[in-house]
């Protein structure tokens, strides 16, 4: 599908400099530009490429002023924020490439389930009893939608994802391939013989609107009540969210984060990759957890923590500097010890 510079500028509210009839039919990084491609420039580190790129159209900030001639084949679209506008175009492109409504065979929809208009249901997908599927939902092949599950309007369930019984998915959520939502929480009690007895997990998982869950992440159902992921939360691939956890609005976490049971994570928290958060604690709104940190106790302020156990970032930097100097310090202590022994040696 082709778009002209004029059309793109209209979508973004931008100003065309160059040929308004220049067309593009694909996207490319500015350093990998090809004829017919649309690129963007927002980071000054990449400015050198705009003078040699082969792309046909480039989105730039209104503040951008070329320091030398740009290619004659390149048309600029100037906007207030090039990065945000390019992201907006990617969203438009994503929506246009969304699957057309249809139900592929073989697939299964329970007689007691209700499905809205505009459903795409891929082959070998399953929708259980009393499930409620909103309008314009896409459920890709091999996805499993359990009994009594609710999925809100415009949500996308990618291939191989499983949503267990009684779980609720809000509007415009994206559940990527291999995600498991609503598997049992890790609940076991040892008996008198030291053998573990399973504690039934009878709660559910609730995802509010605009939540995205990355591939192969897992969100466990609550023992009782609900594991809750609030509006706008973004979860990367390979994350583990345990039973009865609550994650506040617009919090984001990178890959391989693990959150233990009943932890409460505030709003607008940022958690780096491979961080671990112990159970039954609270993380304050706006806190930041640096990658590979371990958090064993509650974080009461919007601090940035690093290390295991996590401490204030500036304290960690000072401590790490001391740790790196430790071999030198130990050598000095050893030298001082020898001198002391020599000075105090009894003839």
216 with 153, same domain: the answer is yes
Backbone dihedral region for residue 130 (phi beyond 0: left; psi -120 to 50: alpha; all else: beta): left
Q: Is the confidence at residue 347, as pLDDT, over 80?
A: no
In a domain, 327, yes or no: no
User: What DSSP letter does each residue of 222-283 carry, written as one string?
Assistant: PSSSEEEE-TT-EE-TT-EE-TT-EE-TT-EE-TT-EE-TT-EE-TT-EE-TT-EE-SS-EE
Q: Is there a single domain that holds both residue 193 and residue 45?
A: no
Same domain, 249 and 110: yes
- Going by C-alpha positions, the residue among 125, 211, 122 that lies closest to residue 167 is 211
* Domain residue limits at 29: 3-96
Give residue 99's pLDDT. 82
80 and 219, same domain (yes or no): no
Residues 127 and 179 in one domain: yes
Across all residues in the chain, what is the average pLDDT? Answer: 95
> Does residue 310 share a domain with residue 168?
yes
Closest CA to 24 of 60, 59, 52: 59
What is the pTM (predicted TM-score) of this model? 0.84
178 with 257, same domain?
yes
User: By the 8 A CB rule, do 183 and 207 touch?
Assistant: no
pLDDT in tens, 157-179: 999 999 999 999 999 999 999 99
- Residue 206: partners with Cβ closer than 8 Å, 6 or more residues away: 167, 168, 170, 226, 227, 228, 229
The Cα–Cα gap between 55 and 62 comes to 19
Rg (CA), the chain: 27
Residue 326 lies in a domain: no
Residue 337 lies in a domain: no
Which of 50, 81, 96 is the C-terminal boundary of a domain?
96
Active site residues: 243
Beta strand 15-17 pairing with 204-207: unpaired
pLDDT of amino acid 62: 96
Q: Average pLDDT of 191-213? A: 96
In a domain, 219, yes or no: yes
Q: Which helix (H) or strand (E) holds 312?
A: strand 311-312
By three-state DSSP, how is residue 299 classified?
A: strand
Provide the domain count of the chain: 2
193 and 109 housed in the same domain: yes
Final residue of a structural domain among 60, 78, 96: 96
Residue 335 lies in a domain: no
Q: Is the peptide bond before 177 cis (omega within 30 degrees of 0)?
A: no
The tokens for 59 are 């989105």
- Same domain (yes/no): 88, 222: no
pLDDT at 284: 98
The domain boundary residue, chosen from 71, 96, 121: 96
Alpha helices (H) along the chain: 5-12, 82-96, 313-324, 326-343
CATH number assigned to the domain comprising residue 125 = 2.160.10.10
pLDDT digits (tens, 9 = 90+) for 93-144: 777 777 889 999 999 999 999 999 999 999 999 999 999 999 999 999 999 9
> Once rounded to an integer, what is the mean pLDDT over residues 233-260?
98
> What does the block give as tokens for 36?
């017919």
213 plus 244 within the same structural domain: yes
Residue 34, domain CATH: 3.40.1390.10
pLDDT category of residue 320 using cuts at 50, 70 and 90: confident
Angle between helices 326-343 and 313-324 (to 10 degrees): 50
Token couple for 314: 């500036």
The reply to whether 332 falls in a domain is: no
Judgement on whether residues 89 and 113 belong to the same structural domain of the protein: no
pLDDT at 316: 85
Residue 256 belongs to some domain of the structure: yes
Inside any domain, residue 165: yes
- Per residue in 252-303, pLDDT tens? 999 999 999 999 999 999 999 999 999 999 999 999 999 999 999 999 999 9
Q: Tell me: do 169 and 62 sit in the same domain.
A: no
């Amino acid at each position: 599908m082709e778009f002209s510079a004029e059309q793109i500028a209209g979508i973004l509210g931008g100003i065309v400099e160059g040929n308004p009839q220049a067309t593009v039919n694909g996207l490319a990084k500015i350093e990998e530009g090809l004829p017919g491609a649309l690129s963007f420039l927002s980071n000054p580190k990449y400015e050198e490429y705009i003078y040699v790129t082969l792309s046909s159209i480039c989105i730039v900030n209104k503040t951008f002023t070329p320091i030398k001639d740009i290619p004659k084949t390149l048309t600029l679209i100037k906007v207030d924020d090039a990065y945000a506008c390019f992201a907006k175009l990617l969203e438009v492109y994503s929506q246009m490439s969304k699957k057309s409504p249809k139900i592929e065979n073989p697939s299964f929809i329970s007689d007691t389930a209700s499905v809205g208009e505009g459903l795409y249901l891929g082959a070998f997908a399953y929708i259980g009893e009393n499930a409620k599927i909103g309008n314009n939902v896409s459920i890709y092949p091999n996805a499993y939608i359990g009994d009594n599950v609710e999925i809100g309007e415009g949500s996308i369930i990618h291939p191989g994802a499983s949503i267990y019984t009684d779980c609720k998915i809000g509007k415009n959520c994206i559940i990527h391939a291999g995600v498991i939502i609503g598997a049992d929480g890790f609940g076991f009690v040892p008996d008198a013989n030291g053998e573990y007895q399973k504690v039934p997990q009878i709660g559910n998982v609730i995802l509010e609107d605009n939540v995205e869950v990355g591939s192969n992440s897992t969100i466990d159902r609550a023992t009782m009540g609900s594991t809750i992921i609030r509006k706008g939360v973004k979860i990367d691939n390979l994350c583990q969210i345990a039973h009865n956890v609550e994650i506040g609005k617009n919090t984001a976490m990178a890959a391989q984060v693990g959150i233990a049971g009943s932890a409460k994570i505030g709003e607008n928290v940022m958690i780096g990759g491979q961080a671990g958060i112990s159970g039954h604690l609270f993380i304050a709104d706006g806190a930041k957890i640096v990658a590979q940190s371990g958090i064993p106790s509650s974080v009461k302020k919007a601090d940035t923590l690093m290390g295991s156990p996590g401490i204030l970032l500036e304290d960690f930097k000072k401590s790490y500097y001391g740790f790196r100097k430790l071999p030198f310090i130990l050598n000095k202590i050893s030298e001082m010890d020898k001198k002391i022994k020599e000075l105090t040696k009894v003839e």
